[in-house]
Structures are given as C-alpha cells and as structure tokens.
Amino acid sequence: MSTPQLAEHFFRREYGRLVATLCRRVGEQHIEVVEDAVQSALMAALESWTVSGPPDNPSAWLFRVAHNDVAGTLRQGSRRRRLLEQYGGDAVDSGESCSAPFLANEVQDDLLRMLFVCCDEAIAERSQLVLALKTLCGFDIREIALRLFLSEANVYKLLTRARSRLRKSPPRTEGPSEAEFSSRIAAVHKILYVLFTEGYLSSRQETAIRRELCDEAMRLATILAEHPMGQTPETFALLSLMHLHSARINARQHGSGGLVLLEEQNRDLWDREKIQVGLEWLARSAHGDAFSRYHAEAAIAAEHCLAPSFQETRWENVVNYYSLLERIAPSPMHMLNRAVAVAEWKGPAAGLAVFDGFEPPDWLAGSYMWAAVLADLHGRCGNVELANRYQKLAWKTAPTPAVRNLLEHRLRTSRQTIARHLTR
Amino acid sequence: MPKYLCMQRSLPGGDTHKPSPAEMQEMYSQFRAWQQKFRENLVDMGGKLGAGRLVTEPAADGPFVEVKELVGGYMIVSAPSLDEAITVARGCPGLVRRGSGVEVIEIRTS
C-alpha cells in the first residue's frame, strides 16, 4: 500500500513526452486521438497507482496504456482500412514499435520534433505558443489561460486552430528534415523566448507560477542545444539570456511580493551559479557572423550581472547594446530602455534627448512604462510640471498594485534626490 | 474493531471537468498523504467495480441498471464507530465531491 512520491512535475512531463512520442509514431494529424489517450492513461495511472502503488517503471507503464489506447482507437476508426494500410504495419500492430522509448535521447528527439511541429509557419504565433504549452508542457486550457492572461475561450480557439492545421498535415513520422530545421528554427527560438519572457516579465502573477514558464522555456531550449542541428549561436545566446535573467528572479521580488528596483536589489540574492552558466553560454554564442537580438539581450543581462553595484554598471556598454538591439529588432521599448541607460551614463538630460523628434505610438504613450520613465527623467531634470503630469499618468496606467507601489517608491526617491541637489 | 464497507457512488450531474496533469499529480500527493494519515484504518483499498449481473431465481433477463453507473468502487475501512469511518472516507481526496458521494456501511460479522 505504499505509494512513493513521484518526481516533481512527473505527470506534466510524462504528458509532453507521451504526446511527442506517440505523435511521431502515428503522425500529428492524429494529435487529438493521442492527447485523449494520454489523458486517459494518466487518469488510469492515478486510479491504479494510488491503490496498489506505482509500477517499477511508471513511464513504460504509461506508454503501454496510452499506446494501446491510440492503436485501438485508430483501428476502430471509420477510416479503418486506410489507417491500417498506412500505419498498421509499423506503428499500430507490430510488437516491436510498442516498446517504450527507454533511451533518453530518443525521448529528447521526440520532444524536439514536436517543438518543430508546433512551429509550423501556417500556425499563427500565439497559436504555436498555446499548442506548445498544451502538448509539450502538459498545461490544460485553464492553466494556459491563467499563465498567458487570456480567456479560456480564447485559448480554446487558438488551440483549435492549431490542431485543425495539424489534422491536415501530411502523414509522416520522421523528425524534422534539415530544410525544415533551418526554416523553422527562428520560429522555435521566438516561441521559447516568448515563453520565457511571459514568465519573467509578467508582474501580474506570483513568482512560483511565473517561474514555471521560465523553467519550461529553459528545459526546451536545453534540449534544442543538445541536438546537433540546434547548436546555433542564436540557441546559445537564448540560453545565455534565460540563465542570466532567471539568476536574478529571486531578487526582483521582496518578501511581501512587491517588485524591487534593479538599483535596490540585493545582489547577494543573485544566483552566482546560474550567472556562471549564462556566461558560458554567452561565450559559446560568440561565433559565426550573426549578431541576433538574443545576443544583444544576453549581453545587456551580462553587463548587469557582472556589475558589482548599480552605480558601477558599465552603462556605456549597456547603451551600445541597446542601440544594436534597436537596429536588429526595432521597437520603441528598446529606445525607452536605452534612454534609461543613457540617463545613468550621461545624466537625465541626455536621457531625455534620446526622445528628441520621437513621437511615441499610442500604445506606448498610454503605457505606464513610458509615463514612468518620463516622469523620472523630467523629475531629475527639475521639470516639475511635466514630471507631475507623467507621474499621474503612470499611476493611472499601472497594471497592478505591485507596479504602482514600485513606481510610487521610485518616483519618490528620485524626487528626494532632486530636492537634495536643490537645497545643497 | 468494526469494519465498514465504503462504496463510491456517482450521482447525476457529476463533475465533468477533466483534471490536468498537474492537478492529477496534486491529487496523487493528497491521496498519498491521506493514506499515510489513516494507515491504521485502511484495511483493504478495494478497487473499481466493472459490469455485473443480478442473479435471481427464476433467471430474469433484465434490463438492469449497470452497476458501474452507480457504484464506482469500494474499499474497506476499520474504525471504532460509523462516525469515525465517515471521517476517514470524507478525508479521501476526490471521493466526496460534486456529483459523487460515499456510502459507508458497517460490516457485521457477529
């Protein structure tokens, strides 16, 4: 009657592994059959293992149950004959293919293959992300909705679109071809990057839940980096930036859950080991002639990680990397970040000068980040009226109480600094 | 100590929400904790019940309600009293919830 503890995330990990392996064997056009079978196998495991304890090899047990279910469903299906012709010999009936994939690298290959399946260019980016979270990470619709701040109906819609595309995909069971690898790897990088930043940047969630997305992104990126075809400078840069950011995630939040300014973070809380790993990936990423946005972002994160204190940050380097980033991936957000770094390097007036002749798009002009940066820079320049205006806007547009508290704190301290300067 | 038969019954309008893998793992852990807590009481973890047939004399053809529609599974609990047996059954994760209940019946052997 003993029921040993299962490894952390065992059910979720098994879900992803089984879906990936079975999809390779029967083809992703049967993804719904596969997902239903995996769900049922996990339920059967829950019922059986709680009563009599898990078997010696839980993964093999689950694989056998799910595989038999898929084989049975496909055999029964109305397309019985066609299916048997197509898969009967190799995927459904033969005892040999029923053997569980015991080799770790086979499982990794299956996961990687599924990641590339998710990144089909015919599937919209948001749908790709939802599909990956569902199939590879084992989150259900409700959990995805919670993590991506979407409605469940929306997640369902995105998932349905992705699946309907997969249903139409040609029957093939081999891994990604070299051509597919090179055409989809950029999309794979993007999806891993989005997955990571959804977890890292969100201010709207408790740390544990956000961390989960970061961990999933790092797990999949690591699998990519272990595959010969995935070993590109961009993959390494992506892993570098993930490590360098997640090394600091603990220090970004204080005990009461509020966010902490980089300037005031306790750098002793930064995970030195992760920083080291991140720097090693950064070194590995530095070959070839492609300098990607991931390189620029990893380099910026490295500058922060290497600085002994906020004041001792090499702001000139940070500014230069932001300039590069703007060139590679133009976005007013990068400009905003550059202005902040310039202000630290050459003073608030120089920071403001970055925006000379720049008309912010509506989404930026209405965001708390734009308002907060301008309130801060104007405040530090002594432009009291403008600073007040932006400050009001920043508080009004702050998405969460945690962000509002952070802004209030930040703007108050910068005012005090000014007051000290003026009274001196 | 008296023994009690606990039968899980599904009631109409049961919970149709399929648990996610993460929720299943959580249920597994809760179940495990429950088993530890009531180690002494859990005599026989029983099992699920499949299809059955009512045997009568003279033989009747039915139709009978399939047993599994009503009773999902059973287990045997030992406890000093019915109330304490109920406490054990009620603590079992997932057993007592919307659309599902447990019938606890004393097994008299003397």
B70-106 pLDDT tens trace: 678 889 999 999 999 999 999 888 777 777 788 999 9
The predicted structure's pLDDT at residue B69 = 53
The predicted structure's pLDDT at residue A314 = 96
Closest CA to A203 of A23, A367, A339: A367
Q: Is B1 on the interface with A (CB under 8 A)?
A: no
Q: Which residue has the tokens 């030992």?
A: B78
The predicted structure's pLDDT at residue A90 = 47
Minimum-distance CB partner of B18 among A10, A11, A39: A39
- Residues A383, A352 contacting (CB under 8 angstroms): no
- Judged by average pLDDT, the poorest of A127-141, A165-179, A410-424 is A410-424
Binning pLDDT at 50, 70 and 90, where does residue A175 land? low
What's the mean pLDDT when you consider all of chain A? 85
Residue type, B22: A
pLDDT digits (tens, 9 = 90+) for A204-248: 666 677 788 899 999 999 999 998 889 999 999 999 999 999 998
Which helix (H) or strand (E) is A395 found in, with range?
helix A384-397
pLDDT of A118 > 70? The answer is yes
Residue type, A213: L
Measured in angstroms, the CA of B78 and the nearest CA of chain A are apart by 15
Q: Do A47 and B46 count as a contact with CB atoms less than 8 A apart?
A: no
Token reading at A336:
């905003």
Q: Is A3 on the interface with B (CB under 8 A)?
A: yes
- DSSP sequence for A216-244: HHHHHHHHHHHSGGG--HHHHHHHHHHHH
Q: Do B48 and A142 count as a contact with CB atoms less than 8 A apart?
A: no
Helices (H), A168-232: 178-201, 207-226
Q: Please, which residues have CB within 8 angstroms of residue A47's CB and are 6 or more apart in sequence? A: B48
User: Which value, to the nearest 10 degrees, does the dihedral of the CA atoms of residues A274, A278, A283, A285 take?
Assistant: 150
pLDDT digits (tens, 9 = 90+) for A309-335: 999 999 999 999 999 999 998 989 899
The predicted structure's pLDDT at residue A203 = 60
Binning pLDDT at 50, 70 and 90, where does residue A101 land? low
Give the CA diameter of chain B.
51
Q: Do A138 and B22 count as a contact with CB atoms less than 8 A apart?
A: yes
The predicted structure's pLDDT at residue A424 = 46
Residue type, A69: D
Closest CA to B6 of B39, B44, B35: B44
Q: In chain B, which residues have their Cβ closer than 8 Å to the Cβ of A39?
A: 18
Q: In chain B, which residues have their Cβ closer than 8 Å to the Cβ of A3?
A: 28, 31-32, 35
Token reading at B109:
């052997």
Using CA of residue B15, residue B21, residue B23, residue B27, what is the dihedral sign? Answer: positive
The predicted structure's pLDDT at residue B62 = 62
CB pairs under 8 A between A and B: 58
Q: In chain A, which residues have their Cβ closer than 8 Å to the Cβ of B42?
A: 1
In three-state secondary structure terms, B71 is strand
* CATH numbers and ranges of domains, chain B: 3-13+21-107 (3.30.70.1060)
Q: Which residues of A261-291 are buried (b: 16+ CB within 10 A; e: fewer)?
A: eeeebeeeebbeebbebbbebbebbeeeeeb
- Chain A, 85 to 144: residues with Cβ < 8 Å from chain B are 138-140, 142-143
Closest CA to A38 of A59, A58, A15, A55: A15
DSSP lists the bridge partners of residue B107 as B3
What's the mean pLDDT when you consider all of chain B? 82
pLDDT digits (tens, 9 = 90+) for B8-51: 887 776 666 788 999 999 989 888 889 889 988 988 888 878 77
Enter the ipTM.
0.78
Q: Please, which residues have CB within 8 angstroms of residue A34's CB and are 6 or more apart in sequence? A: A18, A19, A22, A23, A26, A66, A70
pLDDT digits (tens, 9 = 90+) for A241-290: 999 999 988 787 766 556 677 888 889 889 999 999 999 999 999 988 88
Alpha carbon B14 to its chain's center:
15
The predicted structure's pLDDT at residue B13 = 65
Binning pLDDT at 50, 70 and 90, where does residue A129 land? very high
Residue type, A217: A
pLDDT of A133 > 90? The answer is yes
Q: Do B20 and A138 count as a contact with CB atoms less than 8 A apart?
A: yes
Q: In chain A, which residues have their Cβ closer than 8 Å to the Cβ of B28?
A: 3, 6, 11, 46, 49-50
Q: Is A9 on the interface with B (CB under 8 A)?
A: yes
pLDDT digits (tens, 9 = 90+) for A290-306: 889 999 999 999 999 99
pLDDT digits (tens, 9 = 90+) for A56-94: 999 999 999 999 999 999 888 755 556 555 655 444 443
Helix (H) and strand (E) counts for chain B? 3, 4
In three-state secondary structure terms, B78 is strand
Distance between CA A71 and CA A201 in Å, rounded?
A: 43
pLDDT of A95 > 50? The answer is no
For chain B, how far is it from start to end, CA to CA, in angstroms?
12
